C-alpha cells in the first residue's frame, strides 16, 4: 500500500492543506453531510468575516490582521486537486507515514467548533463549493492562515517554524527547504 499523501497549496496570500477525505471524515463525521463523495478535502483557516466572504474590502482585511477575531475553517471537497487551483496556485505533494497523516488530520479536526447538539456551525458557502465552518482559535497578525498551515506541516514532520511564518512565501519556502517541489516542476517535459 502506498504512503498517504498530504498536499500543500499556495494560492496568492492564502495557503491550504489537502488531506484524503476519509481521514478527516473519520475524525469529524459531521462532515459526511457535506463531503461524502470526494477523494480530497482542501482545508484552510482564516478570519471569520474576511476569509471566504463575497466582498473583501481592504479595511476588513486590516481589521482581521490587527484586531483579534474569531476564525473559520474553509473546506472544499474534490476528486482532482488540480481542478480547484487558480492559474497562480502552486501544488506540492508530501508523502507521509500513516502516523504522521493521522497527526495532521487530528490537528485539523480539533479546529472545528461544535454547537450544543454536537453539530458543525456552518458560516457560509461559496458558489465554487467551499464550505466555511466556525473554528476554534483567534485570528490576528501573529496567528494567520499561514501560521496555521505551518502548524499542520509541522505535524506532518516537516521542519517548519510556525511562529515565524506569517507570509505565504515563507511557508512555501519552508516546504521547498524540506525537499519538495511543486507538482508541475516534477512532471517530465
Domain extent, residue 58, equals 5-186
Total domain count, the chain: 1
pLDDT given for residue 1 in this prediction: 57
Q: What is the pLDDT of residues 19-60, one digit of tens each?
A: 999 999 999 999 999 998 999 999 999 998 888 877 777 777
Listed as ranges, residues in the chain with pLDDT below 70 are 1-2, 185-189
Instruction: Provide the grid cell at 180.
Output: 519538495
Q: Is 23 left (phi over 0), alpha (psi -120 to 50) or beta?
A: alpha
Amino acid at each position: 500500500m502506498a504512503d498517504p499523501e498530504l498536499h500543500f497549496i499556495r494560492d496568492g496570500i492564502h495557503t491550504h492543506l489537502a488531506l484524503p477525505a476519509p481521514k478527516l471524515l473519520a475524525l469529524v463525521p459531521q462532515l459526511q453531510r457535506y463531503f461524502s463523495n470526494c477523494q480530497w478535502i482542501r482545508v484552510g483557516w482564516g478570519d471569520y468575516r474576511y476569509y471566504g466572504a463575497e466582498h473583501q474590502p481592504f479595511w476588513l482585511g486590516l481589521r482581521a490582521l490587527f484586531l483579534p477575531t474569531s476564525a473559520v475553517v474553509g473546506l472544499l471537497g474534490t476528486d482532482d486537486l488540480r481542478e480547484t487551483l487558480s492559474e497562480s496556485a502552486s501544488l506540492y505533494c508530501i508523502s507521509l507515514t500513516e502516523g504522521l497523516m493521522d497527526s495532521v488530520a487530528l490537528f485539523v479536526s480539533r479546529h472545528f467548533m461544535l454547537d450544543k447538539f454536537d453539530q458543525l456551525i456552518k458560516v457560509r458557502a461559496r458558489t465554487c463549493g467551499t464550505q466555511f465552518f466556525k473554528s476554534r482559535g483567534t485570528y490576528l497578525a501573529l496567528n494567520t492562515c499561514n501560521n496555521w498551515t505551518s502548524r499542520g506541516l509541522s505535524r506532518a514532520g516537516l521542519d517548519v517554524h510556525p511562529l515565524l511564518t506569517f507570509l505565504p512565501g515563507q511557508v512555501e519556502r519552508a516546504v521547498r527547504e524540506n525537499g519538495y517541489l511543486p507538482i508541475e516542476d516534477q512532471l517530465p517535459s
